[in-house]
């Protein structure tokens, strides 16, 4: 069986409730179509649970992309030198992420050990932009929020 869920937004209890409901088996597949992180207070717990499951695959949502854009900021020690050389573009990206609910995610991330942080970053960077699946002879394109300028004549690679 193939399952799809999206927009969990750090709601760990709801995620576990859904996992219990679908009762994911070893031969099942779950695609999580982005927005796993931010807003709720369980983003890291959800990612850690997903990491343990070889049949669960993440697809980038805008919140994971914002987080990925800010990894170099949130993993550094704040020093005067860092602040003196702070890139305005990086500051804008961090500001955008914060305005979209990142505070709780950053707090959770900072509580992880350096090794756990590294594992989360590596796992998140394995996410894909989309997945193509076939179910009962029908083809589906799994993507977080649409393809914008979609045209059947365009290659998917040109859409990203």
Written as tens digits, the pLDDT of the chain (160 aa) is 999 999 999 999 999 999 999 999 999 999 999 999 999 999 999 999 999 999 999 999 999 999 999 988 888 777 777 777 778 888 899 899 999 999 999 999 999 999 999 999 999 999 999 999 999 999 999 999 876 676 777 665 554 4
> What pTM value is reported for the model?
0.86
CA dist., res. 26 & res. 46, Å (int):
19
Cβ within 8 Å of residue 105, ≥6 positions away: 10, 37, 38, 43, 44, 67
């Amino acid at each position: 069986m193939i399952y799809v869920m999206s927009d969990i937004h750090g709601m760990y209890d709801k995620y576990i409730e859904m996992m219990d409901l679908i009762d994911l088996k070893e031969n099942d597949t779950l695609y999580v179509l982005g927005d796993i992180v931010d807003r709720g207070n369980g983003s890291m717990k959800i990612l850690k649970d997903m990491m343990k499951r070889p049949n669960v695959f993440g697809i980038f949502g805008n919140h994971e992309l914002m987080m990925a854009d800010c990894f170099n900021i949130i993993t550094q020690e704040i020093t005067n030198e860092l602040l003196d050389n702070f890139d305005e573009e990086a500051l804008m990206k961090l500001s955008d992420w914060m305005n979209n609910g990142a505070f709780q995610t950053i707090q959770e991330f900072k509580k992880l050990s350096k090794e756990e942080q590294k594992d989360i970053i590596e796992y998140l960077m394995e996410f894909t932009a989309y997945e193509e699946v076939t179910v009962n002879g029908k083809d589906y394109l799994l993507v977080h929020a649409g393809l914008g300028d979609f045209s059947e004549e365009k290659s998917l690679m040109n859409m990203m």
